[in-house]
């Protein structure tokens, strides 16, 4: 196993995912991990990047004793600077901050073996390693700045090999896997049967409750449970009123087609509208929606528990959810609240998380092995707070209905023109600003709909999708003509970073 110590990088999960894709078992741990807590099967350690400077008073560090182990250690970006700093090297604020693509020169190195003499890499830093202590050798240079070094079992790179923008980043990670003898430690074979056997062994003849949304995670988790325990599984869908057009009936149809014995749907939309009245702050909206969902689910769970004698609560928690809720890093800067909140202990149900060790793409792979339809598995990600964070400002029924219609037209047209599956995520959002327009001979004063579509491998970074102009023209025309209350449609061409994919 390779441990990834988290210093707050936005790319920490991406490092782990890339290692797994290359066949190495990788797990995230907090940066202040004590050497005595290192799992015995550990064969390598990676120090992630992060937003700090090694000279900041509160900058995160790690136990220096780790450097004295014979375990191979790779520092990426901030991790690169930290290894150098703790080893006695000189690290200084750079003359300029460097973000984006950069050309570097490669020297002979075990870690950088197979790379070209000149490589395009991705930089995101403001400090530089300017000199190295005795025993270290420079393995890459950016001008006169040290872009890579090694010293026996210690390695550092200033760039990010885990992002696609680094031309041969996978070769770097492959080399580290080889150096740490971590090949073939993440085996995807027989995972379905292993998971089913684990569920059966734990649940036995007891009943299990799971909240479902129609999203990939809860769908695959419930499908696994259905394979394992069938009649003992109870699926609950809560309609918050913030779902996409026709979502509630679509989800019910999915579970009917998959022959689930117990699927229960509850309409709680009136309660959500009441709680969100006059609320405009995005963080407040997220928290209200999250807490009210839990309160509603708790109420339903108590009734079912009493009637059906339910002992287990299953959740579609995936690895990123689990790591974030366990706070693997106190060093990351908060961008927005995560909508996944832990259900109250007072439910007194034992938690089952069959997908807790998997990433989204791995969950989709499991779903495919379970025989789930591609149309279910390839649905674009949908946020827990639903359309509540795609209506900027206050949520009203009028705005919600406008957005539902516009979003439905957008997605329908993308599918008709065979564009949907080439896009990571696409959605419409409502901007609560009215502009002047003209329809026929009449002046209008109506809302703006913004269209967002991005391409990505993982959602950590994203580029705007290059939808053909004729397709955008058709989408815009249909929305303006068919959705009352809209007279202007715009297309968002901003990357992530600097923007996020969602608007709130």
**Euclidean distance between CA atoms 20 and 362, whole angstroms:** 10
Q: 338-347, pLDDT tens digit by residue?
A: 444 455 566 6
The pLDDT of residue 142 is above 90: no
pLDDT at residue 359, as a whole number:
82
The pLDDT confidence band at residue 329, using thresholds 50, 70 and 90, is very low
87 annotated binding-site participant: no
The pLDDT of residue 137 is above 60: yes
The pLDDT of residue 15 is above 50: yes
**Euclidean distance between CA atoms 491 and 451, whole angstroms:** 5
Q: Which domains does the chain have, with CATH numbers?
A: 2-179 (3.40.50.880), 191-377 (3.40.50.620), 397-491 (3.30.300.10)
The pLDDT of residue 213 is above 80: yes
The pLDDT of residue 123 is above 80: yes
The SS3 assignment for 305 reads: helix
Residues 6+ apart with CB under 8 A from 431: 392, 447, 448, 449, 450
131 annotated binding-site participant: no
265 annotated binding-site participant: no
365 annotated binding-site participant: no
Q: Which of 37-41, 55-59, 142-146, 338-342 has the lowest mean pLDDT?
A: 338-342
Query: For residue 486, what is the DSSP state?
Result: E
More reliable by pLDDT, 401 or 213: 401
Q: Which of 13, 150, 160, 405 is catalytic?
A: 160
pLDDT at residue 94, as a whole number:
64
Distance of CA 437 to the CA centre of its chain: 39
| Angle between the N-to-C axes of helices 216-229 and 191-203, in degrees from 0 to 180, rounded to the nearest 10 | 70
The pLDDT confidence band at residue 99, using thresholds 50, 70 and 90, is low
The pLDDT of residue 335 is above 50: no
**Euclidean distance between CA atoms 299 and 209, whole angstroms:** 13
pLDDT at residue 478, as a whole number:
97
276 annotated binding-site participant: no
Residues 6+ apart with CB under 8 A from 32: 60, 61, 62, 63
215 annotated binding-site participant: yes
Q: 162-194, pLDDT tens digit by residue?
A: 988 898 999 999 999 999 999 988 876 668 888
The pLDDT confidence band at residue 278, using thresholds 50, 70 and 90, is very high
Percent of the chain scoring above 90 in pLDDT: 56
The pLDDT of residue 317 is above 50: yes
pLDDT at residue 35, as a whole number:
86
Instruction: Give me the DSSP letters along 94-115.
Output: EEEEEEEEEEEEE-S-STTTT-
The pLDDT confidence band at residue 464, using thresholds 50, 70 and 90, is very high
More reliable by pLDDT, 418 or 165: 418
Q: In this structure, what token pair is assigned to residue 95?
A: 């003359």
Q: Is the dihedral of CA 69, 71, 77, 80 positive or negative?
A: positive
109 annotated binding-site participant: no
pTM above 0.85, yes or no: no
Q: 233-260, pLDDT tens digit by residue?
A: 999 999 999 999 999 999 999 999 999 9
Q: Which of 77, 85, 446, 504 is catalytic?
A: 77
Count of CB atoms situated within 10 Å of the CB of 401: 14
The SS3 assignment for 307 reads: helix
Whether 162 is a known active-site residue: answer: yes
Q: 355-404, pLDDT tens digit by residue?
A: 988 888 889 889 999 999 888 888 888 888 999 999 999 999 999 999 99
Q: Kindly provide the residue ranges of all beta strands, DSSP E only, lying in 295-339, ordered along the sequence.
A: 310-314
For 263, the enclosing helix (H) or strand (E) is: strand 263-267
Query: For residue 153, what is the DSSP state?
Result: T
Q: Which of 98, 119, 162, 247 is catalytic?
A: 162
What number is the average pLDDT over the span 280-290? 92
**Euclidean distance between CA atoms 487 and 448, whole angstroms:** 7
């Amino acid at each position: 196993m390779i441990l990834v110590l988290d210093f707050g990088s936005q790319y920490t999960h991406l490092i782990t995912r890339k290692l797994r894709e290359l066949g190495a078992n990788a797990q995230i741990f907090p940066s202040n991990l004590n050497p005595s807590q290192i799992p015995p099967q550990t064969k390598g350690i990676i120090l992630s990047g992060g937003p700090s400077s090694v000279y900041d008073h509160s900058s995160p560090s790690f136990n220096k004793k780790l450097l004295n182990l014979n375990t191979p250690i790779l520092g990426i970006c901030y991790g690169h600077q930290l290894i150098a700093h703790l080893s006695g090297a000189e690290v200084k604020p750079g003359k300029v901050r460097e973000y984006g693509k950069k050309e570097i020169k490669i020297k002979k190195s075990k870690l950088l073996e197979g790379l070209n003499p000149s490589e395009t890499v991705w930089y995101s830093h403001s400090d530089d390693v300017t000199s190295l202590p005795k025993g270290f050798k420079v393995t890459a240079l950016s001008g006169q700045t040290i872009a890579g070094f090694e010293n026996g079992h210690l390695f550092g790179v200033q760039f990010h090999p885990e992002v696609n923008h680094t031309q041969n980043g996978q070769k770097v990670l492959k080399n580290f896997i080889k150096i740490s003898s971590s090949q073939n430690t993440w085996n995807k074979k027989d995972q379905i049967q292993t998971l089913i056997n684990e569920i059966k062994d734990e649940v036995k003849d007891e009943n299990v409750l799971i909240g479902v949304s129609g999203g990939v995670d809860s769908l695959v988790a419930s499908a696994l449970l259905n394979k394992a325990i069938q009649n003992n599984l109870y699926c609950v869908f809560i309609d918050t009123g913030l779902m996409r057009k026709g979502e509630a009936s679509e989800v019910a149809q999915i579970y009917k087609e998959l022959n689930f014995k117990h699927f229960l749907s509850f309409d709680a939309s009136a309660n959500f509208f009441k709680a969100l009245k006059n609320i405009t702050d995005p963080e407040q909206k997220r928290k209200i929606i999250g807490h009210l969902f839990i309160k509603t689910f708790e109420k339903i769970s108590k009734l079912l528990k009493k009637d059906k004698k339910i002992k287990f609560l299953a959740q579609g928690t995936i690895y990123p959810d689990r790591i974030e809720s366990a706070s693997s890093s106190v060093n990351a800067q908060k961008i927005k609240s995560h909508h996944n909140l832990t259900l109250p202990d007072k439910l007194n149900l034992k938690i089952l998380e069959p997908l807790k060790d998997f990433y989204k793409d791995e969950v989709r792979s499991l779903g495919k092995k379970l025989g789930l339809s591609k149309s279910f598995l390839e649905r674009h990600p949908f946020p827990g707070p639903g359309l509540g964070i795609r209506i900027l400002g206050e949520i009203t029924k009028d705005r919600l209905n406008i957005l539902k219609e516009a979003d439905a037209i957008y997605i329908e047209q993308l599918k008709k023109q065979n564009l949907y599956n080439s896009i990571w995520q696409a959605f419409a959002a409502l901007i609560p600003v009215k502009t002047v327009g003209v329809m026929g001979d009449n002046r209008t004063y109506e809302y703006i709909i913004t269209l967002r579509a991005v391409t990505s491998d993982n959602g950590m970074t994203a580029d705007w999708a290059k939808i053909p102009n004729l397709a955008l023209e058709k989408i815009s025309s249909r929305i303006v003509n068919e959705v009352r209350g809209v007279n202007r449609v715009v297309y968002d061409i901003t990357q992530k970073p600097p923007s996020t994919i969602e608007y709130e």
